[in-house]
Structures are given as structure tokens and as C-alpha cells.
């Protein structure tokens, strides 16, 4: 690090006021005015204790997150207007946050807190980088007591603990997880901006630079991320903010944008896009996530896939004003529609294919292999999504409500996470095993303009002895206007067993006869024709009133096709009609 001259200037953080777009200023100031009229969000202890008492995360996290969101808005309004009313309110927020006994949320803390230990989690690191950015952004406009308090808290809560005992923090070596990106990225930013003179500076920058590089190493070679689109967005947002800060602070001498996998990372949201406003949502992901605006702009600006990212940005809504970087104008290339309609993310075991990019009603098929011990894992080897007319007719339900039980051994009692809530195969009522040793392998991923074939060997996803062979094949015909999907499941066992294949669906399912169903959506319909086996029974199932990630309630509905055999061959045709 001694070879680089770190020059952190205010001009490297934001543009001058006269270069800011008026629309941004108007929106920020409007939000800041609303904040002025409200009391500070209350993160009192009675809310803090609720998590360990009941498992509910929301009661404490809602005001905790609101406080930090308001902090950024007030900082930007202070910078844009130079009006002291925003600065005074901002300093109240800073003072209040610095008075919090912990910058972590209860879900990331033990029930009995050791006050001799310094806890650093996702939120503590994010809090640190926000305060450091404000320190640089507003400089001498802040009261001296506020500046000194920020520096003191950063050293006490973040810099010195991480400098002295980095081994205490698993995420510093958890390169496969979004935690590594968020924690190391934000600590790196805070150190660059507010820790330049500290004894810890060189060690922290070296360690965080190495960690973020290794985090990028864990991306799929095509840009995919095993945790799914929501955690792709969360992790890479903070990793790229650090990448961007390093790049500007060193005049481009440290350039992690050039990492080969970063160069393709923007293809993941492009290919996960399900028009008009959905995304492939395997794992604990939202079907309608709001991607971070600056993340997408930085990828568009600095990578070879920038034109395709620019094209995507014309169609999706973005999350804005999460960080100070939102004040900057980031120039991106002119949009260019993607050409590649078939994407095989080989390292994570995903395939996403579509008929065309030109029609928003086009059919899209997404298929997942992977294993059952992934970060934010669900039991879902062989899961698939069939999207057409802007709807997920055959669907993934994403994540359930985050509670204490959701991240405990009880996780797989929840239909959002267990096999029961996925379009999978069951043998004598038993599903797939839990852990990395239970996996699937894509053994064919062939593509041509009229027919794509994806075949998964799912045998190893099931407990040993349950089946001799389980092969799932999806044949996606693009010759018809809206496409036809043929699902084939081949299950071979050593004795006659009850074998079930299950379809998770959205929409209204109407039974015509034993072999024919119609799934009606808002804009079209899918005919479900059961071609094989010869002998089978069909029933419908439902999990009622389940809590989702967003806090809403929903029902999970599915169709069960069951046969009794030692060699079951299911063949189900899904034909789309307008």
C-alpha cells in the first residue's frame, strides 16, 4: 500500500452542486423536509429485546433502518442547500446513533451480550461508512464535537477491533457470502475516508482489499451469484462502492473493476430479468427486487457489458438515495439490447433461456441445480420458473419472513425453504436431503433457435438408497408463438414406491379432466397436459396464509401428480395461449 498515494478529496465523493440534476435535488430536499417534522426514530430497549423473546425482527429493525436512511437524506440536503436546519437535524441523528450501545441488530447478536466484545455485523459496518462519508462530505460544516465523536466511535467500534483481532470476525474470510462484501467493503470505505492517519490504516486496507478480491473470485464465471438476485444486489453494491472509492482515491491505480468476474457480473440481473418487472427469485430473493441505482450505473460504466446493463435500466425501477454516492452523475454507454437468449451459469448450476428479448410477453424458463447447503439455502435442486405474459405461471415463492426460527434448525419446517414449497420430486413422501453433499448436476444444456434442452441429474440430492436414478429434463420449444415446455421426470428405484412430482403455480387452476388443467393468469393462460405415466392420481395442495419476506401474507398452491412404480416416467406438457 505504500506505493499508492491516497488522496481523499471532497470532489472525489460528489459533484459540485451546479453539476447535480435538479430532479435529484428536488426529491432529496422534499424527503428531508418531511424528516424535519418528525421525531427521531426510537430504538429503545423494549423493542430490542423483542427478537429474542418472540423471534420478531421488525419491531427493532424498522426504526433502526429508518434512522440510517434519514441520516443520508439529511446529509445530502445539507450539502445541496447549505441550509442549517438540515445540518442541525443531521447532527441530532449522528449524536443519537453514536449513543446507541450497539450498531448491530438483535438477530446478529447473542441473547446474552458480552459488552467486553466488539460486535461488527452488516449494519455496524454500514453505519461506519455512512458516518465516514458524511465526515468527508460536510467537513468543517459539522460542529467540532460531532466530528470528534464520529472519529472516536469509528476507532472504538470498527477500526481498532478489526485491526487487532480480525480473526474474531468470520465474514472477513467468508468469501462465499454477502457478509464478506458488505462488512469488508464498508470497513474499507470508512478507513479510506476517516482512518488515513491511523496505525491500522495499511493493515485494514490490505485485508479488505484481499477479501473483496476473493469475494469477486467466488462469482460465477458468467457473473452469477449463488445466493440469488437479492443478495447479488446487496453484496455487490457494497463491494463496488469500496471498489469505486479505491479507484478514485488512487487515480485508478487500484482497479478492482478490471477483475474478470466483475466484468461479467452485470449479466446476472440482465438474464434474471423477467419482463415487465420481475426477476428470477431462487433462494431468499424477492421476485420484484429494487436494484441499487449506483451499482448498476458503475457496472454499466466500468464493464464490457455496459451497453446491455444500460438497456436493462430502461425497464426496471431502482432503489435510490441509499448512500452519498447517489449525488454523483455516473455516465453510462448507450443501451444495446442483449443478443444472447440462452445463459448457462455453470459454476452455480443455473440456466435461464428465453425466446426473444424483443417481446415483453415472451416465454422465459429458469432452471436451478446447485446444492442444498448454499448460503440462504432452500431445498430446491431441480426447481424451475416458467414465465410468460409478464407472469410466473410455474413459480418460485422466494423467501419467507425473516424471524429467529427462519435462521435456525427450524428453517426447513417452513414451506418457503423446504422441499414442500418447490416443484420437486418426492419418493414415499420423502424429499431431498439438507447439506452440501446433496446436490444436482446439469448434464445437458443445449440450445438452438427452436429448442432448448436442460437436463439435471438429481439423484445425489436425495438420501442414499431412496432412488437409483432421478433425471429431470425440460424441453423448451420456441417454435410456437408463446412457447411450449415439456417436463420429463424419470425416477428409478430398487422397489415399487410412491413417487410424486409437484408443480408450484400462480394463477387460477381449473381442472378439465384427470389429465388436463388450465392455469389462468391475468394476461394469458397455460394448459397443463399430463401425458405420462399411464396410471396416476392428481390432487391439489395449499399452504395458507404464510408470511413473506416483505411482511405480506400469501397462499402457496401446488399440483401433485402421483404414481406407484419402481420406474416412473412423468411427462407433462405446458402449452401457452393468449
Specify if 176 maps to a domain: yes
The pairing of beta strand 537-547 with beta strand 516-520? unpaired
- Distance (Å, rounded) from C-alpha 52 to C-alpha 38? 29
Say yes or no: 493 and 354 in one domain: yes
Domain end: 321, 338, 355, which one?
Answer: 338
Residue 5 lies in a domain: no
Residues 208 and 250 in one domain: no
Alpha carbon distance 256, 185 (integer Å): 12
**Final residue of a structural domain among 338, 369, 388:** 338
- Provide mean pLDDT across the span 499-528: 96
On whether both 348 and 429 belong to a single domain, the answer is yes
- Coil, strand, or helix at residue 342? strand
Domain membership of residue 139 (yes or no) is yes
Are residue 456 and residue 572 in the same domain, yes or no?
A: yes
- Whose cell is 436431503? That residue is 433
Tell me the CATH number at 545.
Answer: 2.70.98.70
Together in a domain, 190 and 291:
no
**Any domain includes 234:** no
**Cell matching residue 201:** 490504516
Closest CA to 224 of 278, 274, 270: 270
State which residues form the domain around 542: 342-577
Of 247, 281, 271, the residue nearest 12 (C-alpha): 247
Contact 380, 422 (CB under 8 A): yes
State whether 150 and 176 are in the same domain: yes
333 with 346, same domain: the answer is no
**Plot region of 175 (φ>0 → left; ψ -120 to 50 → alpha; else → beta):** alpha
Q: Report the percentage of the chain scoring pLDDT > 70.
A: 96
pLDDT single digits (tens) 221-262: 999 999 999 999 999 999 999 999 999 999 999 999 999 999
User: How sure is the predictor about 4, in pLDDT bands with cuts at 50, 70 and 90?
Assistant: very low
β-pair partners for 477: 451, 484
Position 578 confidence tier, pLDDT thresholds 50, 70, 90: confident
Percent of the chain past pLDDT 90, that is, above it, reads 91
Q: Which three cell numbers stand for residue 446?
A: 443445449
Average pLDDT over the chain, rounded to an integer: 94
Q: Is residue 532 part of a domain?
A: yes
Long-range contacts of the stretch 313-318 (C-beta < 8 A, 24+): 315/273, 315/275, 315/276, 315/277, 316/273, 316/277, 316/291, 317/277, 317/290, 318/290, 318/291, 318/292, 318/293
> So what's the pLDDT on residue 17?
45
In a domain, 225, yes or no: no
Query: Is residue 181 a contact partner of residue 192, using CB atoms and an 8 Å limit?
Result: no
- Looking at the fold, whether 427 and 497 belong to one and the same domain comes out as yes
pLDDT of residue 282: 98
Same domain, 325 and 354: no
551 phi, psi to nearest 5 deg = 90, -5
The pLDDT confidence band at residue 327, using thresholds 50, 70 and 90, is confident
18 pLDDT band, cuts 50/70/90, is low
Q: How many CB atoms lie within 10 A of CB 162?
A: 26
pLDDT in tens, 412-460: 999 999 999 999 999 999 999 999 999 999 999 999 999 999 999 999 9
DSSP 514: S
**Same structural domain, 328 and 350:** no
**What CA–CA distance (Å, rounded) separates 137 from 193?**
10
pLDDT band at residue 16 using 50, 70 and 90 as cut-offs: very low
Express each pLDDT in 545-571 by its tens digit.
999 998 899 999 999 999 999 999 999
Q: How confident is the model at residue 20 (pLDDT cuts 50, 70, 90)?
A: low
pLDDT of residue 141: 96
How are the residues of the chain apportioned to helix, strand and coil, as percentages rounded to the nearest 5? Answer: 40, 25, 35
| pLDDT range class, residue 24, cuts 50, 70, 90 | confident
**Which residue would you say has higher pLDDT here, 482 or 365?**
365
What pTM does this model have? 0.95
Domain finish residue from 310, 338, 366 = 338
On whether residue 267 sits in a domain, the answer given is: yes
Q: What does the DSSP assignment read for 364-430? A: EEEEE--EETSTT--S-TT-EEEEETTEEEE-----B--BTGGGSGGGGGSTTTSGGGSS-EEETTB
Query: Could you write out the DSSP letters of every residue in 283-343?
Result: TT--SS--EEHHHHHHHHHHSTTHHHHHHHHTTS-EE--SSGGGGS----PPP------EE
In a domain, 235, yes or no: no
The distance of Cα 102 from the centroid of its chain, to the nearest Å, equals 26
Residue 558, strand partner residues? 504, 541
Q: To which H or E segment does residue 497 belong?
A: strand 484-505
> What pLDDT is recorded for position 328?
85
Q: What's CA 30's distance to the chain center, in Å? A: 29
Q: Cell match 446447485: residue?
A: 370
Number of domains in the chain: 3
Same domain, residue pair 258 and 183: no
Note whether 455 and 471 are within 8 A (CB): yes
- Over residues 499-512, mean pLDDT: 97
Looking from the CA of 547 toward its CB, the CA atoms found within 13 Å total 8
User: Same structural domain for residues 210 and 266?
Assistant: no
Bridge partners (DSSP) listed for residue 525: 520, 577
Amino acid at each position: 500500500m505504500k506505493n499508492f498515494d491516497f488522496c481523499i478529496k471532497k470532489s472525489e465523493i460528489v459533484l459540485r452542486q451546479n453539476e447535480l440534476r435538479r430532479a435529484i435535488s428536488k426529491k432529496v430536499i422534499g424527503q428531508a423536509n418531511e424528516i424535519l417534522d418528525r421525531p427521531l426514530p426510537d430504538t429503545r430497549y423494549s423493542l430490542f429485546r423483542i427478537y429474542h423473546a418472540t423471534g420478531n425482527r421488525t419491531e427493532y429493525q424498522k426504526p433502526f433502518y429508518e434512522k440510517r436512511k434519514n441520516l443520508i437524506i439529511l446529509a445530502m440536503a445539507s450539502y445541496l442547500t447549505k441550509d442549517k436546519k438540515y445540518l442541525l437535524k443531521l447532527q441530532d441523528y449522528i449524536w443519537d446513533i453514536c449513543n446507541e450501545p450497539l450498531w448491530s441488530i438483535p438477530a446478529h447478536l447473542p441473547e446474552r451480550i458480552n459488552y467486553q466484545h466488539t460486535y461488527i455485523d452488516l449494519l455496524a459496518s454500514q453505519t461506519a461508512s455512512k458516518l465516514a462519508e458524511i465526515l468527508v462530505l460536510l467537513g468543517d460544516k459539522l460542529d467540532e464535537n460531532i466530528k470528534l465523536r464520529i472519529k472516536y466511535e469509528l476507532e472504538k467500534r470498527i477500526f481498532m477491533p478489526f485491526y487487532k483481532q480480525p480473526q474474531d470476525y468470520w465474514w472477513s474470510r467468508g468469501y462465499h457470502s454477502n457478509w464478506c462484501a458488505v462488512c469488508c467493503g464498508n470497513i474499507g470505505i470508512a478507513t479510506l475516508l476517516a482512518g488515513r492517519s491511523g496505525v491500522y490504516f495499511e493493515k485494514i486496507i490490505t485485508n479488505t482489499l484481499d477479501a473483496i478480491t476473493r469475494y469477486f473470485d467466488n462469482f460465477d464465471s458468467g457473473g452469477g451469484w449463488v445466493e440469488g438476485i437479492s443478495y447479488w444486489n446487496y453484496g455487490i453494491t457494497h463491494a463496488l462502492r469500496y471498489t469505486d472509492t479505491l479507484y478514485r482515491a488512487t487515480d485508478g491505480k487500484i482497479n478492482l473493476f478490471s477483475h474478470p468476474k466483475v466484468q461479467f457480473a452485470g449479466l446476472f440481473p440482465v438474464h434474471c430479468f423477467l419482463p415487465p418487472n420481475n426477476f428470477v427469485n431462487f433462494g431468499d430473493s424477492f421476485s420484484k427486487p429494487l436494484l441499487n441505482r449506483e451499482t448498476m450505473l458503475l457496472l454499466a460504466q466500468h464493464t464490457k457489458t455496459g451497453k446491455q446493463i444500460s438497456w436493462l435500466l430502461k425497464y426496471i425501477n431502482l432503489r435510490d438515495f441509499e448512500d452519498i454516492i447517489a449525488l454523483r452523475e455516473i455516465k453510462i454507454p448507450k443501451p444495446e439490447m442483449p443478443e444472447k437468449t440462452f445463459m448457462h451459469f455453470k459454476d452455480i448450476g443455473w440456466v435461464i433461456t428465453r425466446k426473444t428479448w424483443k417481446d415483453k410477453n415472451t416465454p422465459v424458463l429458469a432452471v436451478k441445480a446447485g446444492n442444498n447447503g448454499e448460503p440462504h439455502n432452500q431445498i430446491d435442486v431441480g426447481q424451475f420458473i416458467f414465465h410468460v405474459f409478464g407472469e410466473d405461471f410455474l413459480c418460485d415463492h422466494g423467501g419467507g419472513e425473516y424471524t429467529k426460527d427462519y435462521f435456525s434448525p427450524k428453517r426447513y419446517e417452513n414451506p418457503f425453504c423446504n422441499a414442500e414449497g418447490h416443484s420437486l420430486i418426492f419418493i414415499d413422501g420423502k424429499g431431498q436431503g439438507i447439506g452440501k453433499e446433496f446436490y444436482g448436476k446439469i448434464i445437458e444444456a443445449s440450445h438452438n433457435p427452436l429448442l432448448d434442452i436442460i437436463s439435471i441429474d438429481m439423484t445425489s440430492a436425495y438420501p442414499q438408497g431412496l432412488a437409483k436414478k432421478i433425471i429431470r429434463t425440460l424441453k423448451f420449444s420456441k417454435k410456437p408463438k408463446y412457447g411450449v415446455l415439456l417436463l420429463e421426470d424419470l425416477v428409478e428405484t430398487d422397489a415399487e414406491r410412491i413417487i410424486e412430482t409437484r408443480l408450484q403455480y400462480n394463477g387460477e387452476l381449473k381442472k378439465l379432466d384427470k389429465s388436463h388443467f388450465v392455469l389462468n393468469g391475468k394476461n394469458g393462460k397455460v394448459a397443463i397436459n399430463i401425458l405420462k405415466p399411464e396410471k396416476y392420481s392428481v390432487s391439489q395442495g395449499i399452504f395458507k396464509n404464510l408470511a413473506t419476506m416483505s411482511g405480506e401474507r400469501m397462499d402457496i398452491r401446488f399440483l401433485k401428480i402421483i404414481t406407484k412404480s419402481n420406474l416412473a416416467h412423468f411427462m407433462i406438457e405446458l402449452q401457452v395461449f393468449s
